[in-house]
Structure 1
Amino acid sequence: MIRIWPLFGLVITTPRLVLTPVRDEHLPELIDAALKGIHDPAEMPFSVPWTDAPPDALTAGTAAHVWRTRAEVAAQAWTISFAVLHEGRVIGLQDLMARSFPLLRRVHSGSWLTRQVQGRGLGTEMRAAVLQFAFDHLGATSAVSEAADWNRASLGVSRRLGYTPNGTTLIEARPGETEVQQHLVLSREDFVRPRWAAGYRGVEAARELLTGGAV
């Protein structure tokens, strides 16, 4: 499968986590982690309220998202959905995205963790891992992210890693409900690196696919 789809060979390791593009065998644990709960049901941290879906729809939608993003990867537009494993179990998802990457050299991230493991610094660790990959191995020069202005956990991750505010947008979080999204930007030079360095396997083939060889 790695020969057929090089991203399946990409593995990023941190002191506590393993991140690798979602394989089909990860899907049952990934969906179970989402169904166990990601956030307070009274709040909606995502710009698309996918966690409001009934369990059957959430299950099918999660699988469809993974398959769709995998099929659409190309140097001009890509999303890598990394399964986040802790102690051998899938506990969440870390997306890394880019559009016109060979020209813009900018990546965008999004993520979630099952509530059972939140509050341990794992969200910071997994985002720091993909930022190191983007800056050090893909040649990215900046990264962007966003979070609802009430989402202190997500905004705290961004602040710790060196992001700065980059404007706001008023969005419809749920039908008939608005919220303010805080946009953030991080330059490669301002990245506050952790004390550890991520480990990697399969970088060369992934880099060729994601950058078209233009690093």
Structure 2
Amino acid sequence: MAENIAESTRTTPGAPHTGPAAAPGGHRSALAVWAPQFRLRLTTPRLELRVPDESDLRALAELVADQGIHAPDAVPFQGGWSNALPQVVAGRVLQYLWKGLALSRPDYWNLGLAVFLDGRPVGVQGLQARGFPALGEVATESWLARGHQGRGIGTEMRAAALRLAFEGLGARYATSAVYEDGAAALAVNKKLGYQPDGIEVQTRRGEPVVLTRWRMTRDQWELSPAAEVTAGIHGLDGCRALFGAQPHDTPTATREPA
């Protein structure tokens, strides 16, 4: 996910942005003509998840630069992309989100959703797939700014992503990969009903570390605590083909006009 925020672009940390760019309508509808995933939104009792526009991206970058994602001595993510100066990490977050928009196609996509609590960004929920039309498998990854951790937000936003995957897109499987010392992420996997799916030994900072793999089937999801979290899916029909999903009606998904 690479570099700097110009100081002249900063506002009060975490302050919501106003004007047309801040509203789900505004220029998002114009962007959605060319990139229909800008219509997609997920909602839970506390959260809204959406593809970030320019204003959202600026707010996310400021959030990361101000709060960070984890303690400096932690290495929770593969590749160590978050182990750098906060402004560098903020740039990498933007790069990751831009890359997801630029490279998405039905057989390979990376959906990065900005997560908002009370109108303010708190993190990012990612959902990726390779060969989705044939395999029906997705993977998740996510982060929360340090000031918003430990409040159950990670569980809620992951549950929303799983509802999009299984109910909205018709996925067969969802997977997650977490280092064995990633206590918070492991707790989310267990709480939502993932099942262990093996391990992999990797090198981290020159030392061996165990990466644990987790899997959930559609049938398991339907009986899991994840399915009990109320989550609405808005604006999916217009971008279903982008994800390689078959057109169909989703009875409990909420639809809104573009």
TM-score band by shorter chain is over 0.9
Q: Which amino acid is the alignment partner of residue 118 of structure 1? A: Q
Which of 130, 154, 160 is the aligned partner of 1:99?
A: 130
1:197 correspondence with 2:230: yes
Query: How far is the alpha carbon of 1:50 from its aligned partner?
Result: 1.2
- The CA deviation string for residues 70-101 of structure 1, in whole angstroms up to 9 with x for no partner, is 11010000000000000101110000000000
Which residue is 1:30 aligned to?
Answer: 60
After TM superposition, the structure 1 = structure 2 runs for residues 10-159 of structure 1, keeping only pairs within 5 Å, are 10-35=40-65, 36-159=67-190
- The CA deviation string for residues 78-129 of structure 1, in whole angstroms up to 9 with x for no partner, is 0000000001011100000000000000000000001111111110100000
> Which structure dedicates a bigger proportion of its chain to strand?
1
CA distance in 1, matches of 2:34, 2:234: 16
Per the normalisation by structure 2, the TM-score is: 0.79
Query: How far is the alpha carbon of 1:212 from its aligned partner?
Result: 5.5
CA distance in 1, matches of 2:227, 2:218: 14
What is the percent sequence identity of the aligned residues? 36
Structure 2 residues without counterparts, runs of 5 or longer: 1-30, 249-258
CA distance in 2, matches of 1:94, 1:57: 20
CA distance in 1, matches of 2:159, 2:190: 12
Which residue is 2:5 aligned to?
Answer: none
Highest Rg: 1 or 2? Answer: 2
1:177 correspondence with 2:177: no
Query: How far is the alpha carbon of 1:32 from its aligned partner?
Result: 2.4
Query: How far is the alpha carbon of 1:152 from its aligned partner?
Result: 1.4
CA distance in 2, matches of 1:114, 1:214: 36
Q: Is the 8 A contact 1:143 1:186 kept in 2?
A: yes
- The CA deviation string for residues 120-143 of structure 1, in whole angstroms up to 9 with x for no partner, is 111010000010011001010110
**Greater RCO, 1 or 2 (C-alpha within 8 Å, sep 6+):** 1
Which residue is 2:32 aligned to?
Answer: 2
Cα 1:173/1:31, change in 2 over 3 Å: farther
- The CA deviation string for residues 142-171 of structure 1, in whole angstroms up to 9 with x for no partner, is 100011101111011111111111111112
Structure 1 residues without counterparts, runs of 5 or longer: none
Q: CA RMSD in A?
A: 1.5
Query: How far is the alpha carbon of 1:55 from its aligned partner?
Result: 3.7
2:141 is paired with a residue of what secondary structure?
strand
CA distance in 1, matches of 2:90, 2:80: 14
Query: How far is the alpha carbon of 1:177 from its aligned partner?
Result: 3.2
1:75 is paired with a residue of what secondary structure?
coil
1:164 correspondence with 2:164: no
- The CA deviation string for residues 163-184 of structure 1, in whole angstroms up to 9 with x for no partner, is 111111112233x233211110
Per the normalisation by structure 1, the TM-score is: 0.94
